[in-house]
Amino acid sequence: MAVNTGIYDGCADRTPLLEKLGRVAVRLGVPAGRVRVRPTKGSATGMELAIDFGRAVVRRTCDSQASREANLGALVQWAEDLARNAERGIEGLADALHGDGASLALRGREVEPGSGQRVHLYLGDMTGEEAWALVRRSSTRLGLDPDRAVWLGPEGRGMTLRLDLGGGRVVKKSSFGQPRLVGNAAALALWLQCRARHHERGIDRDLTKVMSAYLLREGS
C-alpha cells in the first residue's frame, strides 16, 4: 500500500471548504464568527485557522501545500478530524488541545452528540491485523520505529496504544468507546493516521506538544 506523503488531494474550492468548516464548528460547539481563516503572513500560499474556545484561541497554520486553497483544505481536514475523534470517544477536546494551553477553558465542553448517542462509531470492517498494519505505517510516517517504539494491545475492556517518542517520553492512548475490541483497535489506528497526516503537513509539528495530554509520568 502506498504511503501518504501528506499531500492534500481533497476539495480545493474555497466556498465549499468554508461551508464545511462552518459545519465542523457546529460539531465542536463553537459559535458562528469564532472560527476564522486568513492568509499566513510572509507566505505566498500559507493559511492560518483560528478557533476561539472561550478564552482560549487555538491556531494552526499550513504552508506545505501548493496553493492557498489546498492549505485551507488541509486545515479544514484537521478540524474535521478533531471533531470526529471527539465524537468517536477517542479523545476529548481538552486532551486533544492540551498542548495549546486550552485544557482549562475546554473542560466540560467536550463534544456531546445529541440524544446521548455517540456519533461516528467505527462501523468499518478493519481487522485486528489491518489495524496493527495501519499503526505501523503511521508510526513510520511519524519517524518512529514500529518494531521498537510501538505497542498495541487489549487493556481492560478496551485497547491501548503506546508510543515511545524517545528521551523518556512515552505516549499512552486508549479507546473504550467502541462495542468491540477490534473496533477500538481500528479507532486508535485511525487516530494515529490522523496524527501522522497532520504532522507530515506541518500542521502539528511538535509531537510531544500535541500529544502532551497522553505522556506518561516517569515510572507509570
Average pLDDT, the chain: 89
**In angstroms, rounded to a whole number, what is the distance separating the alpha carbons of residues 102 and 68?**
27
Do residues 111 and 18 share a domain?
Answer: yes
| Contact yes or no for 8/77 (Cβ under 8 A) | yes
Q: Is residue 172 part of a domain?
A: yes
Helix (H) / strand (E) element for 79: namely: helix 68-87
Q: Is residue 157 part of a domain?
A: yes
Give the least confident one: 13-27, 40-54, 77-91, 206-220.
206-220
Q: Is residue 7 part of a domain?
A: no
Please report the pLDDT score of residue 109 as a whole number: 59
pLDDT in tens, 63-92: 999 999 999 999 999 999 999 988 888 888
User: Taking the model in full, what pTM does it have?
Assistant: 0.89
If one compares 108 and 54, the residue with the highest pLDDT of the two is 54
Of the candidates 86, 116, 146, which is a domain's last residue? Answer: 116
73 residue type, one letter: G
Over range 180-195, report the average pLDDT. 95
Do residues 38 and 65 share a domain?
Answer: yes
Q: Is residue 122 part of a domain?
A: no
Of 38, 58, 34, which is closest to residue 47 (Cα–Cα)? 38
| Contact yes or no for 151/161 (Cβ under 8 A) | yes
Do residues 139 and 111 share a domain?
Answer: no
pLDDT in tens, 192-210: 999 999 999 999 999 999 9
pLDDT band at 32 (very low <50, low <70, confident <90, very high): confident
Do residues 67 and 136 share a domain?
Answer: no
Please report the pLDDT score of residue 181 as a whole number: 94
Range of the domain at 193: 128-214
